[in-house]
Amino acid sequence: MVEKAERRESGGIGETLKVIVQALLLALVIRTFLFQPFSIPSGSMMPTLLVGDYLFVSKWSYGFSQYSMPLSPPLFDGRVMASQPDRGDVVVFRKPREEDVDYIKRLVGLPGDRIQVIDGVLTINGKPVEREKVEDFVAEDGTPVPRYRETLPNGVSYMTLDLSPNSAGDNTREFVVPEGHYFMMGDNRDNSLDSRFDVGYVPFENLVGKAQVIFFSVEGDVSPLEIWKWPTDLRPGRILTWLG
């Protein structure tokens, strides 16, 4: 009886370990090939994304590169099963020359495009992007911020913020996007380190994935594990917001 009990106990531990390993492998497969969760640490994509938003990024949208893999192993160059991104996509990517940091911005420039900002207005190939003033965005401290609806040439529409006139990124030189690269900008135009600055043009290989949906949102200074704060700090209206 004792031997049988010991065998059952040993078998139970083995089965438990087997289930744990299988679960970890499944999670790794999902994270590598399907979805990866990301949190938003800064306000560079406001008002589209807020600090404290948690979102799923699809890994298959653009195919797979070393940067879409866990730990970014240099197994191959370029992309496998590659699909081109669309103008207006919200994209997670690795910054060139700083490839251990994930950035999230909006893709506004395709290969061959001429991109320039003139008096705060984005121009693509010499044509100003349609921009309409809408109701101010109210920051968490109650400050009103000018908000604009911007519509790209392919019809993709989204909101941007204009924190201050004549900021460093409001008037730029003309950028010509090289082949195999993309031009990224934050929706919070005056508070975004993006392709106008030292991020530069982003290689296709550096794209991690496409932001798809906000699955959780809580005030930026609150951990999602602090469940007791959810009644006052949860943002239920942002949960399941579709991004593309």
Catalytic residue among 59, 95, 105, 210: 105
Q: Examine the residue annotation and report whether 65 is marked as an active-site residue of this protein.
A: no
Q: Examine the residue annotation and report whether 18 is marked as an active-site residue of this protein.
A: no
Cα distance between residue 157 and residue 130, in whole Å: 9
Cα distance between residue 140 and residue 154, in whole Å: 32
Catalytic residue among 44, 65, 68, 217: 44
**Chain centre to alpha carbon of residue 86:** 14
Structure tokens at 165: 């006139």
Burial, 44: exposed, middle or buried (Cβ in 10 Å; 0-12, 13-18, 19+)? Answer: buried
Q: Where are the beta strands (DSSP E) in the chain?
A: 35-39, 53-58, 90-95, 98-109, 114-118, 121-124, 127-128, 130-138, 144-151, 157-161, 175-176, 181-185, 202-203, 207-217, 241-242
Which helix or strand (DSSP H or E) is residue 24 part of? helix 2-29
Question: Which DSSP symbol is given to 14?
Answer: H
Cα distance between residue 20 and residue 2, in whole Å: 27
Hey, which residues are catalytic here? 44, 105
